Structure 1
Amino acid sequence: MELIKIDYLQIDVAVAKLLTVSKLSINSRQKIGLIGNNGSGKTTLMKILAQEKFPDLFTIKGAVINNCNFAYVPQLLDAGDKSGGQREKLALSRAVAKLKNMPNGLLLLDEPTSNLDITQQQWLIKLISKSKIACLIISHDQNFLNSVCDSVWYVQNKEVHNFSGTYEEFCSFSEDQQKRAETTYEQKEKHLEQLKKSYNQHFNKARTFSRNKKGLSSSDWRSKSMGKQKTANNVIRASKNLASRINKEKGELKKPPVHHAITLKNAITDLSISPKSKALRIEQQPINAYGQKLFNITQEVNLAYGSKVVLTGQNGIGKTVFLKKIKNKQLTGFYNPKLKIGYFNQNIVASQTDKTLLDSLFATSIFDDSSTMQVLGDLHLRQYGEHKISDLSGGQLVCFNLAKILTGQYNLLLLDEPTNFLDIASVNALAEFVTVYPFAMILVSHDQAFIKQLKITKWHIKNSRLITSTAQKKQSKKGNNNELELLKFKLDQLMLDSNASISEIKQVKARIQELQ
C-alpha cells in the first residue's frame, strides 16, 4: 500500500532551485535510506513529508499525497550534551510506540544514530529491522544504512532518485555508474579528437583549392580548375559541418567528478618529533570527573610519534573527559616538550569571525595550498571560501572548525566524534586524511564503517577501565599461559590413564602446540 506518493515536487530557496522530486512513493513496511551531501535538501524534503511549516523564503511547487500516520524524529543537534544518546533513544522509542497500534505507520528519522553509541546503534538496528512500520531515514552512517534499508533515495544533481536494493548494492551500482561515466567521457574525448583531425584534413584540402599552381597565371589556373569546383565546394561545406559538430560536442563534453585521495604535501617539519621518542606517556591512574570515578588506566599507556588511535566505549563512560584531560595536560605522565595539541569537538566556536574562511585557514595551515584546498573541498566548503566565518551556517561552522584543526599547527590531534555531522563523502575523505596524516592522533567515534576503514590501533573503555591493544595482548598471553599449564597437567593425567582415548590425547597435544 502506498503511504506517501509524490508525482512532482520542486523546492526553491529564494530564487534558486534546491531540489526536485519526480514520481517517488513510500510503501508499507518499506525501509528507505535518504542520502546526499550536506545542504542538498534532505532535511527540507523530510520536513515537507512531516507537514512542517516553512518560512516565506521557501517556495514549494507540487503536492504530496499522504495516506499514513507518521511520527517525525528530527535531528538532535546538541552533540555536546552528555545525555544526547539517551534523549535520542527516548525520542525513537516514543515514536515507535506511537505508531505501534496505528494502521499505515511511517517513521521519519533524521540522523537517528548521530548521538548513539555502538550498543545503542545495535538496539536501533534491531528495533527497526523487526518492526513492520515503514521508515524513511536520513543517515550518513553506512553500517546502519546497510543493516536496515531495503531501498535508497539519493540526491544527485538537485534531483532525488530511487534505487531498489540495499545500501551495499547501491554502492556497487554507484561505482559501476562512475566507471561508465568515465568510459563514456574517454570515448567522447577520442571521438572529438578524431573530428578535429578530420576537420584539419578538410580545412587544409580546402585551402589548396584557393592557391595558384606554380607556373600558371590566375586566369589559366581558374580555367583548369572549373571541373574541380564542385569538389572544392563539398570539401568546404564538410569542413564547416565538422567545425559545427566540434563546437557542439565540446559544449556537451563534461568530465565526471573524480575523487582523488588527499596527499598532504609540505607539512611544517619543525612539528616533527623523533621517531625514537614518545609523543605521550600516561601513567596508571583513575580518571575522575564531576566528583566520581569514570574509569581506571591500569597499565601505562604510550602514544608513539605518528601513531593513530581510535577510542570507543559507551556514551557517558568518560571518553570526552579523557580527551579534555590530555588536551589540558591534566593526566599524570610524560608530554613531549615539542607536543602541540589540537582539539576538536562539536561545540568549538570560531573566534576569528571577522576573517573570511580562506584567510583564517591559510593563516594557520601547515600544509601547502593545494592540500588545504582539498580538505576544504572534501568538507564541501570550497565554494564558501570568501564568506565571513560569522556568516556560516551551523553545519558549515562545524566543518570549518574541523578543517581548522585538521590543517592546524599541531602534532597531536584529539578528535571527539568528528563524523557526527559529516555526509558520507566527507566521512570517507576524513578516513583518507587520517591514514596519511603525518603526526599522532586520538579520535573518538561510534561510526563502525568509519572505524573499519581506518585500520588503526583501537582503545576501548569497558568495565571501568581503559583497554589498549597492548593490554589486550598481555591479558591474552596471561590467559594462554594459564590454559597451557592446565593442558600440560591434563596431558600428564591422560598419559597415566589406561582408559584414555588416543583421539583425546591427540586433541590436547594439538592445543598445547597451538598455544606454544
Structure 2
Amino acid sequence: MELIKIDYLQIGVAASKLLTVSNLSINSGQKIGLIGNNGAGKTTLMRILAQEKLTDSFTVKGRVSSNCNFAYVSQLLDAGDKSGGQREKLALNKAVTQLKNMPNGLLLLDEPTSNLDITQQQWLIKLINKSKIACLIISHDQNFLNKVCDSIWYIQNKEVHNFSGTYEEFRSFNEDQRKRAETTYEQKKKHLEQLKRSYNLHFNKARTFSHNKKGLSSSDWRSKSMGKQKTANNVIRASKNLASRINKEKAEIKKPQMHHAITLKNGNNAITDLSISPKSKALRLEKQQVNAYGQELFSITQEANLTYSSKVVLTGQNGVGKTVFLKKIKNRQLTGFYNSKLKIGYFNQNIVTSQTDKTLLDSLFATSIFDDSSTMQVLGDLHLRQYGRHKISDLSGGQLVCFNLAKILTGQYNLLLLDEPTNFLDIASVNALAEFVTAYPFAMILVSHDQAFIKQLEAVKWQIKDRCLITSASQKKRSRKSNDNELELLKFKLDQLMLDSQTSISEIKRVKKQIQNLQ
C-alpha cells in the first residue's frame, strides 16, 4: 500500500532552489535510507513529510499525499538528565510503541544512531528489522544503512533519486558510475586531441593555398592555382567545421570530480619540528584507576603505550568513561610519561570557538602544518571551502563544529584526541576523514561508534569493558594467562591419565598433542 506519494515537490530557501522531488513514494513495509551531503535538504524534506511547519524563508510547491500514521524522531532531542544515547533510545522505543497497533505505520528517523554506542546500534538494527513498520531514515552510518535499508533515496544535483537495493549495492552502482564517467571523460579528451591535430593539419594546409609561390607573379600563381581552388575551399571549409566541433565538444566535456588523499608538503618546517624519534614513546600510561565525579570509572591494569605514529580507536558503551579518558590525557592528569615534544590537539563537539572577526581561511592558514592545497582539501572534504572568506563569528552551529574539526586536524599538534569526529559529517566527509587519519604522520586516539569508519582505518583497537581498559598488550597478557591456566590443567589431566591403567594410548596422545599446541 502506498503510504506517501510525492508529486513534483519543489523546495526553495532564501529565494534559491534547495531540492526537487519529481515522483517518489513510500510503500508499506519499505525501509528507505535518505542520504546526501550536509545542507542538501534531507531534514527539510523529512519535516515536510512529518507535516511540520517551516520558517518563512522556505517555499514549498507541489503535492504530498499521505495515507499513514507516522511518528517522527528528530535529530535534536530535548536535553535532560539522561545521556544522548539514553534519550535517543527512549524516543525510538516510544515511536515504535506508538505505531505498533496502528495501521499503515511510518517511522521517520533523523540520524537515529548519532548518539548510540555499538550495543545500542545493534539493538536498533534488530528492532527495525523485526518490525513491519515502514521507515524513512536519514543516516550517515554506512554499516547501519546496509543492515536495515532495502531502498536508498540519494540527493544529487539538488534532486532526489531512488535506488532499489541495499546500501552496499548502491555503493557498487555509484562506483561503477564513477568509473564509467572517468572512462568517458578520458575517451572524450582523447577524441578532442585528435580533432585538434586534424584541425592543425587542415589549417596549415589552407594557409599554403593563400600564400604566393616563390618566384611567381601573383597573376601567374593565380592562373596556375585555378585548378586547385576547389580543393582549397574544401580544406578551408573542413578547417572551419573542425573548429566548430572542437568548440562544441570543449563546452560539453566535463571532468568528473576526483578525490585525492591528503599529501604532506616535503620539508614543511612545522611537520619537522613536531616529529618525535621513532625509538621514543609519545605517551606511556602507568597502571592506575581512572576516576571522575567522585567515583571510579575503570582501571588501567596494564601499562598503555602510544608510539609517535600510532593510530588508536577507543570503543566502549556510552558512560564507561571514554570522553573522561581523553580529557585527562589532554590535561596530562593521568600518571605516566608524556614526551617533552608532545603537543596535544583535542576535538570535542561541545567546544565553542571564540567568536572572532578572523576569516575561516586566515585562521586555518595561520596554524596549519599542511601546505595550502592540502589545507583547502580538508575544507572541501568538510564542505567549508565556499565559506573560506566568511568570518568565524558568522558560521552556523554545524559549520562551527566542522571548522573546529578542521582546525584540530590541520593544527600544529603531534597527538590528536578526537571524540566522535564523525557525528556531524556526511558519508563523503566520513570517508575522506578515514583517508586523512590513515595518512596522518603523528599519533592519534579517536573515539567512534561508526563501524564502517573504524573498518577503514589501519588502527590499533583499545576498549573499555568490564571497568578495565583493554589494550592490545593487555589483551595478549590476558590470552597468555588463559593459556597458562589451560596448560596447567592439561598437564594435571595427563598425569592422572598416566596413572590410570584403563586409559587408552590414543587418549594420552590426544592430551599430549593439546599440550604441545599450547606450548
User: Shared fold (TM-score greater than 0.5)?
Assistant: yes
Amino acid at match of 1:140: H
Whether the 8 Å contact between 1:379 and 1:426 is mirrored in structure 2 is yes
Q: Which residue of 2 aligns with 1:46?
A: 46
SS at match of 2:216: coil
Structure-2 separation of matches of 1:156 and 1:53: 25
Query: Are residues 1:377 and 2:366 paired?
Result: no
My pick for the range that moved more, 9-18 or 477-486, is 9-18
Query: Are residues 1:481 and 2:484 paired?
Result: yes
Q: Which residue of 1 aligns with 2:254?
A: 254
Whether the 8 Å contact between 2:105 and 2:133 is mirrored in structure 1 is yes
Q: Deviations over 1:418-476 (max 9, x none)?
A: 11111111111111111121111111111111111113111111111111111010010
Structure-2 separation of matches of 1:309 and 1:172: 29
My pick for the range that moved more, 406-415 or 473-482, is 406-415
Amino acid at match of 1:121: Q
Query: Are residues 1:336 and 2:343 paired?
Result: no
My pick for the range that moved more, 252-261 or 2-11, is 2-11
Q: How many residue pairs align between the two structures?
A: 516
Distance change (3 Å), C-alpha of 1:187 and 1:322: same
Correspondence list, 1:145-160, <5 A: 145-160=145-160
Give 1:390 deviation, angstroms. 1.2
Query: Are residues 1:401 and 2:399 paired?
Result: no
Correspondence list, 1:157-172, <5 A: 157-172=157-172
Whether the 8 Å contact between 2:77 and 2:87 is mirrored in structure 1 is no
Structure-2 separation of matches of 1:329 and 1:79: 30
Structure-2 separation of matches of 1:427 and 1:295: 30
Q: Deviations over 1:40-98 (max 9, x none)?
A: 11111111111111122112121111111111111027899861000000111111111
My pick for the range that moved more, 351-360 or 498-507, is 498-507
Structure-1 separation of matches of 2:400 and 2:300: 35
| Structure 1 unaligned residues grouped into runs of 5+ | none
Distance change (3 Å), C-alpha of 1:313 and 1:444: same
Whether the 8 Å contact between 1:352 and 1:360 is mirrored in structure 2 is no
SS at match of 2:210: coil
Give 1:417 deviation, angstroms. 0.6
My pick for the range that moved more, 190-199 or 114-123, is 190-199
Structure-1 separation of matches of 2:54 and 2:421: 30
Give 1:372 deviation, angstroms. 1.2
Give 1:490 deviation, angstroms. 2.3
SS at match of 1:8: strand
My pick for the range that moved more, 184-193 or 154-163, is 154-163
Structure-2 separation of matches of 1:80 and 1:244: 67
Structure-1 separation of matches of 2:251 and 2:198: 19
Whether the 8 Å contact between 2:36 and 2:155 is mirrored in structure 1 is yes
Amino acid at match of 1:19: L
Q: Which residue of 2 aligns with 1:59?
A: 59
Percentage of identical aligned residues:
87
Query: Are residues 1:34 and 2:34 paired?
Result: yes
Q: Deviations over 1:172-197 (max 9, x none)?
A: 11111100000000010011111111
Q: Deviations over 1:393-420 (max 9, x none)?
A: 1111111000101111111111111111
Structure-2 separation of matches of 1:41 and 1:449: 24
My pick for the range that moved more, 220-229 or 427-436, is 220-229
Structure-2 separation of matches of 1:174 and 1:348: 36
Query: Are residues 1:451 and 2:454 paired?
Result: yes
Correspondence list, 1:38-437, <5 A: 38-76=38-76, 83-265=83-265, 266=268, 267-437=270-440
Structure-2 separation of matches of 1:317 and 1:81: 17
SS at match of 1:113: coil
Query: Are residues 1:438 and 2:441 paired?
Result: yes
Amino acid at match of 1:147: K
Structure-1 separation of matches of 2:288 and 2:488: 32
Structure-1 separation of matches of 2:284 and 2:443: 13
Whether the 8 Å contact between 1:35 and 1:139 is mirrored in structure 2 is yes
| Structure 2 unaligned residues grouped into runs of 5+ | none
Structure-1 separation of matches of 2:94 and 2:61: 32
Whether the 8 Å contact between 1:79 and 1:115 is mirrored in structure 2 is no
Whether the 8 Å contact between 2:2 and 2:67 is mirrored in structure 1 is yes
SS at match of 1:71: strand
My pick for the range that moved more, 316-325 or 488-497, is 488-497
Structure-2 separation of matches of 1:457 and 1:296: 19
Structure-2 separation of matches of 1:353 and 1:334: 36
Structure-1 separation of matches of 2:408 and 2:189: 41
Q: Which residue of 1 aligns with 2:24?
A: 24
SS at match of 2:178: helix
My pick for the range that moved more, 21-30 or 471-480, is 21-30
Amino acid at match of 1:51: Q
Distance change (3 Å), C-alpha of 1:19 and 1:510: farther
Whether the 8 Å contact between 1:80 and 1:346 is mirrored in structure 2 is no
Structure 2-normalised TM-score?
0.96
Distance change (3 Å), C-alpha of 1:405 and 1:488: same
Give 1:505 deviation, angstroms. 4.0
Distance change (3 Å), C-alpha of 1:491 and 1:348: same
Structure-2 separation of matches of 1:498 and 1:66: 81
Distance change (3 Å), C-alpha of 1:505 and 1:8: farther
Give 1:106 deviation, angstroms. 0.8
Q: Deviations over 1:271-326 (max 9, x none)?
A: 22222222222222221211222111222222222212111111111111111111
Structure-1 separation of matches of 2:287 and 2:237: 86
Amino acid at match of 2:517: E
Give 1:161 deviation, angstroms. 1.0
Amino acid at match of 1:158: K
Give 1:156 deviation, angstroms. 1.2
My pick for the range that moved more, 261-270 or 454-463, is 261-270
Amino acid at match of 2:313: V
Whether the 8 Å contact between 2:311 and 2:458 is mirrored in structure 1 is no
SS at match of 2:337: strand
